[in-house]
C-alpha cells in the first residue's frame, strides 16, 4: 500500500474527458471569467504603468509601461492558475463532490489530478492570451518573438497549478488558501522583478529571488515580449520544470493520501 502511495503519477488519455468536463462548465461563464482575470492586471498596468510611469519613465533603459506589462502577464498566469487549482479544485473535490462522482467511473485518482493541473494551466493560458491582446493594444510585443511566449505561459501555468494542488491536498477549508496567497504568492511578486529590477534588492534577497519560479518566468517572458532573447533561457526553463515536476509529484502523493487512505 505504501509503495502505491508513493508511486510515480500515471498519465493516461482518461484525463482528457475530465479536462473537457471542466472546460464545458467554464464555457457557460467564459466571458465573465476572462474579464475577471484580466481586470486586475489591466488596473495594475493603468495605475502603475501610467501613474508611476509618469514619474519613473524608464527602468534599465526600457519605458516603464513596457517593463511592467512584459512581466505582469506572468503574475496574471500565476494568479489564474493558482486560483483554479485552489478554490475551484477544492470545490470540486470537497464541496461539490465532483471528484467522488468521477471516481465511481472507470477513472483513477491520478487521472483526476492530471486533468485538474492541465485544466488550470489551460484556463491560465486563456487569460494570458486575453492579456496579450491588451498588451498588443499598447503597442508592446508586436514581433515574432512573442510566439515563443505562448508555450512558456502554459508551462508557467502548469507549474503554478501543480503548486496550488499541493495546497489543495493539504487544505481543510477555503481559509487555508489565504495563507498561501498572503505568505507565498504576494511576496513572490515583489521579489521576482515584476515592478522593479531584482538588482535593487539586498544581496541576500537577490539570492532568494534567483530560485523563485516567478522570477524564472519573468526572466524568460519579459525579454521575448520586448523583442530580445532571454539571457539564461535553459537555466530558467530548468527551474520551472523542476518546480513543476516536484510539485506535481507531491500533489499526487498528498491527494492519494487524503482521499484513498
The pLDDT profile of the chain, 261 residues, written as one tens digit per residue, is 555 888 889 899 999 999 999 999 998 887 777 777 777 777 777 777 667 666 677 788 888 888 988 899 999 999 999 999 999 999 999 899 999 999 998 889 999 999 999 999 999 999 999 889 888 888 888 889 899 999 999 999 999 999 999 999 999 999 999 999 999 999 999 999 999 899 888 988 999 999 999 999 999 999 999 999 999 999 999 999 999 999 999 999 999 999 876
Q: Alpha helix (H) ranges present in the chain?
A: 2-5, 15-27, 30-44, 64-83, 89-90, 98-102, 109-137, 149-170, 175-180, 186-191, 203-209, 213-225, 233-260
Q: Which residues of 214-244 are buried (b: 16+ CB within 10 A; e: fewer)?
A: bbbbbbbbbbbbbeeebeebeebbebbeebb
pTM of the model: 0.93
Angle between helices 109-137 and 233-260 (to 10 degrees): 140
- Kind and range of the H or E element at 54? none
Amino acid at each position: 500500500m505504501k509503495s502505491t502511495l508513493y508511486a510515480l503519477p500515471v498519465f493516461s488519455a482518461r484525463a482528457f474527458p475530465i479536462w473537457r468536463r471542466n472546460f464545458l462548465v467554464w464555457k457557460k461563464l467564459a466571458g465573465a471569467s476572462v474579464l475577471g482575470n484580466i481586470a486586475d492586471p489591466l488596473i495594475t498596468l493603468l495605475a502603475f504603468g501610467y501613474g508611476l510611469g509618469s514619474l519613473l519613465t524608464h527602468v534599465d533603459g526600457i519605458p516603464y509601461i513596457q517593463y511592467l506589462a512584459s512581466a505582469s502577464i506572468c503574475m496574471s498566469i500565476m494568479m489564474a492558475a493558482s486560483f483554479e487549482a485552489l478554490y475551484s479544485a477544492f470545490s470540486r473535490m470537497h464541496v461539490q463532490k465532483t471528484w467522488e462522482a468521477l471516481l465511481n467511473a472507470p477513472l483513477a485518482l491520478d487521472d483526476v489530478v492530471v486533468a485538474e493541473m492541465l485544466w488550470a494551466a489551460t484556463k491560465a493560458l486563456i487569460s494570458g492570451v486575453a492579456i496579450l491582446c491588451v498588451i498588443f493594444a499598447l503597442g508592446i510585443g508586436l514581433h515574432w518573438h512573442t510566439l515563443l511566449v505562448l508555450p512558456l505561459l502554459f508551462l508557467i501555468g502548469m507549474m503554478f497549478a501543480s503548486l496550488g494542488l499541493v495546497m489543495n491536498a493539504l487544505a481543510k477549508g477555503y481559509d487555508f488558501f489565504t495563507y498561501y496567497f498572503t505568505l507565498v504568492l504576494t511576496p513572490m511578486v515583489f521579489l521576482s522583478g515584476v515592478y522593479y529590477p531584482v538588482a535593487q534588492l539586498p544581496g541576500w534577497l537577490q539570492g532568494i529571488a534567483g530560485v523563485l519560479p516567478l522570477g524564472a518566468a519573468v526572466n524568460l517572458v519579459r525579454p521575448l515580449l520586448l523583442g530580445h532573447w532571454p539571457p539564461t533561457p535553459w537555466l530558467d526553463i530548468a527551474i520551472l520544470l523542476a518546480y513543476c515536476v516536484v510539485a506535481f509529484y507531491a500533489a499526487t502523493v498528498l491527494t492519494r493520501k487524503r482521499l484513498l487512505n
